[in-house]
Structure 1
Amino acid sequence: MYVILVYDMEQKRIGKMLKLCRRYLNWIQNSVFEGEITEVQLKELLYEARRIMNEEEDSLILFKNRDQRWLEKEIVGQERSRIDDFL
């Protein structure tokens, strides 16, 4: 499945969440990631994220779609991290 993940964390937890998300998805912009992921990988990511997060203060939003081709993406301005350059 194709996902877009966005998080908002307390400053002291941002580094750990960044490292976790980079293991599974492509970094797009500050606290924003996207990419293909399996159900099992997604469950692992969410399990580990909950261990990092304080759910009373932090948030993680996940947009899921079956396939990237069903999602239209428009970028206005400078794209922070291009993922279409990979072979």
Structure 2
Amino acid sequence: MYIVIVYDVSVERVNRVKKFLRQHLHWVQNSVFEGEVTMAEFERIKAGLRELINEDEDSVVIYKLRSQPFREVIGMEKNPMEDIM
């Protein structure tokens, strides 16, 4: 499955969340990651995020898609997908 994760976490947790997500997904821009994952990877990502964030203060939104979506960027691409291929 293809997922997109968007997060808004307290400044003291931002770097830990970003570092964790970079191990699993492609960084798109500030607080946005995306990529193809297996169901097991998806569950590991969710469990890891639950350990890193404070659910009373932070927010993580996960979009699950069946396949990689069509992407169109207007303006500067912060981290082109070709960089990881």
TM-score (norm 1): 0.92
Match of 1:34 in 2: 34
The secondary structure found in structure 2 opposite 1:76 is: coil
Residue identity matched to 2:70: E
In 1: Cα distance, 2:51 partner to 2:65 partner: 25
Task: Determine which of 71, 75, 78 is the counterpart of 1:77.
Answer: 75
Question: Which secondary structure does the structure 2 equivalent of 1:74 belong to?
Answer: coil
* CA distance in structure 2 between the partners assigned to 1:62 and 1:5 by the alignment: 5
Q: Deviations over 1:36-72 (max 9, x none)?
A: 011101101110110111101100001111111xx22
Q: CA RMSD in A?
A: 1.0
Residue-pair matches, total: 85
CA distance in 2, matches of 1:67, 1:37: 10
1:85 shift after superposition: 4.2
- Structure 1 stretches of 4+ with a deviation exceeding 6 A read none
Listed as ranges, the gaps of 5+ residues in structure 1 are: none
Q: Which amino acid aligns with 2:81?
A: I
Amino acid at match of 1:21: L
Q: What is the SS of the residue equivalent to 2:28?
A: strand
CA–CA distance in structure 2, aligned partners of residues 12 and 76 of structure 1: 31
Q: Which residue is equivalent to 2:20?
A: 20
Secondary structure of 2:3's partner?
strand
Report SS of the residue matched to 2:43: helix
- Identity of paired residues, percent? 38
Q: Deviations over 1:10-61 (max 9, x none)?
A: 0000011001100110001001001101110110111011011110110000
TM-score when normalising by structure 2:
0.94
